[in-house]
Chains A and B, each alone.
Chain A
Amino acid sequence: MELLIKNGVVYDPLNEICGEKMDICVKDDKIVSKVKSPKVIDADGKLVMPGGVDIHAHIAGGKINAGRLLRPEDGRKGTEPRGKLTRACTGYSVPNTYATGYRYAKMGYTFVMEPATPPLLARHTHEELIDTPILDNAILALLDNNWMTMEYVKSGETKKLAAYVAWMIKAVKAYGVKIVNPGGDEAWGWGKNVNIDDSVPNFDVTPRDIIGSLAEANEMLNLPHSIHIHCNDLGHPGNYETTLKSFDVIKGRSNKNRQVMHATHVQFHSYGGSSWKDFESKVDEIAKYVNVKKHVTIDMGQVMLGDTTTMTADGPLEYGLHTITGRKWTNLDVELETGGGITPFLYSSKVAVNTIQWAIGLELALLIKDPWKIVLTTDHPNGAPFITYPIVISLLMSRQKREEVMANVHKAINKRAILPSIERELDWNDIAIMTRAAPARILGLDRYGKGHLGVGADADVAIYDVSPEEKEAKKIQSALLRAKYTIKGGEIVVKDGEIVAVPEGRTYWVNPEFDGKPTKDMLGDLTGKFEKYYSVNLANYPVQDAYLPHPIEIKTKV
C-alpha cells in the first residue's frame, strides 16, 4: 500500500521543515523517499503534520474506570450510536475506550501516553488499551510511593533500586517511571500529606530523596524517557516554591539525548499567594527557571472553564478538593504501591481562582520561550477533557481570542494573572513542536519513528483543512477537531473528520537490561515483600505477553 500526500504545507520540526510546500510518500507503515504507484491525497494548501503525540492523558486503567463508575451521569454526554465500523461512544470527561480512540484520531493524534498506572493494576490498564482503537500507546508505572523504592532510597542502595525499577518496568510492560506526590500517598494512608523536605511516616525518607534516587536509577538504566514527575503540594497557593525546589533536586544531571526530569501539568504547580484569597500566578518565576535550565521539560496541564472529573494518584489532594466542593469522591489504595482519588470539579468563570488557573496554563506556554520545553496537555481529564485541545491551540495562536474570553471572566485575572499583559501569539511551527515533535523527543520516541515525517518514520500523519495563514479561532478549532485525514501506520483512519478504519494500536514497552548481584539481592527482598504483604503471589504478578497483542519492545542497556 502506497500513499502520496501531495502539495501539503508541511510542518515537521524534528526535521526542521517549517511550512514548506512538499510531498510526503508512504509505503506500508513507514515514510519513504519515493513511491511508484500510490493512491494520491491532494493536500494542496492544507496543513500536514506528524500524527499528534500526547505525553500525558489519563485514558485507561483502574482510576479511569473508577471515574466512570463514580460519574455515570458523565456517560450521558457525548453519546454516539455505533456505526458500521465504530462501537457506541459515551462520556465527556471520562469517555469509554472507543470514544477515546476515535476522538483522538479525529483530532489527528496517533500516540497517547497513559501516565499513571499502579503496577499492581497494570493488567487492567493493558486490557483497556486493547479496547482503545487506533492509538499507539504506552504506560508509565507509579514507583515512588512504593515500599520497596522507599526502603532502597533510605538505605542508599541505588543499584538495587535500579534493579527493582528495571524488574517492575519489565514485569508490568511499562515505558517509564512515574512519580506522583512522592511520599504523599504513603503519608495519606495515615491521614497526612508531605512536602518536599518532610519525612514520610515510617520510612524516614523525604520526597527530595525519592526524586533524586529514582532519577539516578532512571539514568543508570538508560531509559528512553526521564523520570516523569507530578511534584508535591499540587494545587495549593504558594506551591511554586516547592515546584522549583523539586526541579532543583537533580539540576546537576544531564543526558545527551533529552532532559532528565519531565514535570507534568505544571499549571497546577505554579501558584503564588498564601491562601485562596490572595492566590496568584507565579508563572514568571517558573518560566524564568525553565528558560535557562536544560535538565527539565514540562507540560501545561491547561484548565478549561467547565465541568470535568479530576483523578490522580495524589490521594490527599483529591480529598482536599472534595472537602472544598462537597461533591462526591472516591479513594483508592493499592497495597504497597500507591493510591489515588477522584472527584468531579467545575472550573467556573465566576470564581477568581479557577479563572487564574485557566490563565496560568496559557502563560506557561507563552512565557516559556522554547516550545521544545513545553508540551500541550490538559492533564486529561483533570484540567479539561482532551477534546478541548483545539480550543487551547486557538487561544495560544490568537491574542484576540484570549481577550474575548478574558472579557467575560472574573476580574481577578487582571490583577493576579500575567496573561492580560502577554502579546505573544504562537505559530503553526510552535504548535507542531508542542503537540508532536517535543513530546516525541521528551519521551525518547523520536528515535523509534514517532513525532516526525523523515524517511523511516512511522507513517502517522495528520492533514488539517486550514490555511497556515488562518487567524480566525473558530476555523482553527473546527479544522483541528475534525482532521481532513488522519493516517495511522500508513492506513487512512480518518477522512473528512469521520472514522474510516479502526486498526488496533501498538503498545510500546521497555525491557531494561540490568542483571547481576543487585538484581539477585533485590529479588530476595522482593520475595519477602510478596510473602509478607502482597495479596497476590510474585509468580502471578507480571503481566503476561497476551495482554499486549501488538507490542513494540525497546531494549535498553546500562
Chain B
Amino acid sequence: MQVTLTPKKAFKVPVEAEAIKPDNFAGKGKSEIESIALWHGNKEVKLGSLFDVKVEGVDKEGAKIVIEGDASRIKRIGEGMTSGEITINGNVDMHCGAMMSGGKVIVKGDADAWAGREMRGGELVVEGNAGNYLGAGYWGVEKGMRGGVIRVKGDAGDYVGGHMGGGEIIVKGSAGLLPGLNMSGGKIIIEGDVTLPGGEMKNGMIVIKGKVLEMLPSFRFEGTEIIDSLKLKKFTGDLTRGGSGTLYVNIIPEE
C-alpha cells in the first residue's frame, strides 16, 4: 500500500506530524487517514485539512508513505515508527525519524536538526545535508541513538551522534563540532572534515577520513592502522572520562 501526501500549501507555522508514520496508516482507507489528528501550531487539526491524500492499495502492514512537495516545516515525521517506509521528496523539518525502531526513511533533500534522534533500529537516509544533533539524544537524555543506521550523503551539523550508545552513522561530507560527544557505543564514520571529535567519549568508534581541524589533547596515540585502504592514526580516549573509545583520524593539525 502506498499513501501519497501533498501539502496544500507551504506552512509558515510548523506542523507536528508524529502521527505520519506507516504504523498509523497501515490498513486504513483515504477517509480514515484524512481524519488522523495532527497539531498545527497550537491547534489540533485533521490531516486532510493540511494534505491532499492519495491511497493506492490496502495492506495491514508495511505501508509506504510518500510526501511530495515542501516538508521543511513539518516536524517529527516517522517519529517512533517500527516498520514500513517513508520517502520525503524534498526538505524536512526537525526530529525526522526520531526514536524509530524499524523500517526506512529516505529524505531526498535536507533534514533539519535531531534527525534520527534516539533511534533504536531501522534506517534513515538523508540525500542532502543533515542539521545539528543527528542521531543524538534530546536535552538531558543520557543515551542517544542505540541502534539502526543513518546515512547522510551531504554534510552534517554539530554534535553528530551525541551520547550515542549503539548503531552506525555514516556522513559522506563534513560535520561540525564535537561529533560523538559523550558516546558510549556504536560507530560514526565521517568522510570529510570535523572539529574536536570524541569529546568525553567512553566507548565506541569514530573514524574521520578527512581533516580534523582541531584535536582534543585528551586522546592517547596508539599507532597507525589501515582502514578502507586509508592509513589512519589510532587514538584511545577520552582520557578525561577514563574512556576506552577508539578514534581513527587521517589528518590532524600540526603541533
Q: Which residues of A contact B137 (CB under 8 A)?
A: 73
User: B46-54, B83-91, B139-147: which one contacts chain A?
Assistant: B139-147
Task: Report the Cα distance A72→B142, complex, angstroms.
Answer: 11
Nearest B residue to A344, CB-CB: B142
A306 to chain B, nearest CB (A): 15
B114 to chain A, nearest CB (A): 14
Task: Report the Cα distance A73→B117, complex, angstroms.
Answer: 13
Taking beta carbons and an 8 Å cutoff, which residues of A are in contact with B?
70-76, 327-328, 344
A326 to chain B, nearest CB (A): 8
Q: Which residues of B contact A327 (CB under 8 A)?
A: 142
Task: Report the Cα distance A327→B184, complex, angstroms.
Answer: 12
Q: Which residues of A contact B142 (CB under 8 A)?
A: 73, 327-328, 344
A-B contact pairs, 15 of them (CB 8 A): A70-B140, A71-B140, A72-B138, A72-B139, A72-B140, A73-B138, A73-B139, A73-B140, A73-B141, A73-B142, A74-B140, A76-B138, A327-B142, A328-B142, A344-B142
A443 to chain B, nearest CB (A): 35
Could you give, for residues 125-157 of chain B, a 1 whenever the CB lies within 8 Å of some chain A CB and a 0 otherwise? 000000000000111111000000000000000
Nearest A residue to B202, CB-CB: A326
Task: Report the Cα distance A73→B144, complex, angstroms.
Answer: 12
Q: Which residues of B contact A76 (CB under 8 A)?
A: 138
A156 to chain B, nearest CB (A): 47
Nearest A residue to B241, CB-CB: A326
B203 to chain A, nearest CB (A): 12
Task: Report the Cα distance A278→B124, complex, angstroms.
Answer: 48
Q: Which residues of A contact B138 (CB under 8 A)?
A: 72-73, 76
Task: Report the Cα distance A72→B137, complex, angstroms.
Answer: 11
Task: Report the Cα distance A344→B142, complex, angstroms.
Answer: 10
A74 to chain B, nearest CB (A): 7
B200 to chain A, nearest CB (A): 11
Q: Which residues of A contact B140 (CB under 8 A)?
A: 70-75
A257 to chain B, nearest CB (A): 45
A81 to chain B, nearest CB (A): 10
Taking beta carbons and an 8 Å cutoff, which residues of B are in contact with A?
137-142
Q: Which residues of A contact B139 (CB under 8 A)?
A: 72-73
B181 to chain A, nearest CB (A): 13
Q: Which residues of B contact A70 (CB under 8 A)?
A: 140
Q: Which residues of A contact B141 (CB under 8 A)?
A: 73
Nearest B residue to A76, CB-CB: B138
Inter-chain residue pair count (beta carbon < 8 A):
17
Task: Report the Cα distance A501→B208, complex, angstroms.
Answer: 59
Task: Report the Cα distance A521→B40, complex, angstroms.
Answer: 65
B75 to chain A, nearest CB (A): 16
Task: Report the Cα distance A76→B139, complex, angstroms.
Answer: 10
Task: Report the Cα distance A71→B140, complex, angstroms.
Answer: 5
Nearest B residue to A74, CB-CB: B140
Task: Report the Cα distance A328→B142, complex, angstroms.
Answer: 8
A436 to chain B, nearest CB (A): 36
Nearest A residue to B139, CB-CB: A72
Going nearest first, the 9 A-B pairs with the smallest beta carbon separation are: A73-B140, A72-B140, A72-B139, A73-B141, A71-B140, A327-B142, A73-B139, A73-B138, A328-B142
Q: Which residues of B contact A71 (CB under 8 A)?
A: 140
Task: Report the Cα distance A163→B246, complex, angstroms.
Answer: 61
Task: Report the Cα distance A75→B141, complex, angstroms.
Answer: 11
Interface centre among B137, B139, B140 (most CB of A within 10 A): B140
Task: Report the Cα distance A233→B137, complex, angstroms.
Answer: 35
Task: Report the Cα distance A230→B35, complex, angstroms.
Answer: 56
Q: Which residues of B contact A344 (CB under 8 A)?
A: 142
Task: Report the Cα distance A71→B142, complex, angstroms.
Answer: 10
* Additional pairs, 15, CB under 8 Å, beyond known A74-B140, A75-B140: A70-B140, A71-B140, A72-B138, A72-B139, A72-B140, A73-B137, A73-B138, A73-B139, A73-B140, A73-B141, A73-B142, A76-B138, A327-B142, A328-B142, A344-B142
B19 to chain A, nearest CB (A): 16
Nearest A residue to B118, CB-CB: A73
B87 to chain A, nearest CB (A): 29
Nearest A residue to B242, CB-CB: A326
Nearest B residue to A73, CB-CB: B140
Nearest B residue to A328, CB-CB: B142
Q: Which residues of B contact A73 (CB under 8 A)?
A: 137-142
Q: Which residues of B contact A72 (CB under 8 A)?
A: 138-140
B48 to chain A, nearest CB (A): 23
Task: Report the Cα distance A74→B138, complex, angstroms.
Answer: 11
A76 to chain B, nearest CB (A): 8
Task: Report the Cα distance A72→B138, complex, angstroms.
Answer: 9
Task: Report the Cα distance A327→B142, complex, angstroms.
Answer: 8
B103 to chain A, nearest CB (A): 23
Task: Report the Cα distance A76→B140, complex, angstroms.
Answer: 10
Interface centre among A73, A76, A328 (most CB of B within 10 A): A73
Task: Report the Cα distance A71→B141, complex, angstroms.
Answer: 8
A77 to chain B, nearest CB (A): 11
Task: Report the Cα distance A72→B140, complex, angstroms.
Answer: 5
Q: Which residues of B contact A328 (CB under 8 A)?
A: 142
A7 to chain B, nearest CB (A): 43
Task: Report the Cα distance A495→B209, complex, angstroms.
Answer: 64
Task: Report the Cα distance A328→B137, complex, angstroms.
Answer: 14
Task: Report the Cα distance A282→B195, complex, angstroms.
Answer: 54
Task: Report the Cα distance A187→B64, complex, angstroms.
Answer: 63
Q: Which residues of B contact A75 (CB under 8 A)?
A: 140
Task: Report the Cα distance A301→B60, complex, angstroms.
Answer: 50
Q: Which residues of B contact A74 (CB under 8 A)?
A: 140
Task: Report the Cα distance A74→B142, complex, angstroms.
Answer: 11
Task: Report the Cα distance A558→B140, complex, angstroms.
Answer: 50
A179 to chain B, nearest CB (A): 32
B16 to chain A, nearest CB (A): 13
Task: Report the Cα distance A99→B240, complex, angstroms.
Answer: 39
B113 to chain A, nearest CB (A): 16
A394 to chain B, nearest CB (A): 31
Task: Report the Cα distance A328→B141, complex, angstroms.
Answer: 10
A330 to chain B, nearest CB (A): 12
Task: Report the Cα distance A218→B87, complex, angstroms.
Answer: 70
A18 to chain B, nearest CB (A): 47
Task: Report the Cα distance A354→B235, complex, angstroms.
Answer: 37
A46 to chain B, nearest CB (A): 37
Task: Report the Cα distance A529→B141, complex, angstroms.
Answer: 42
Task: Report the Cα distance A73→B140, complex, angstroms.
Answer: 5
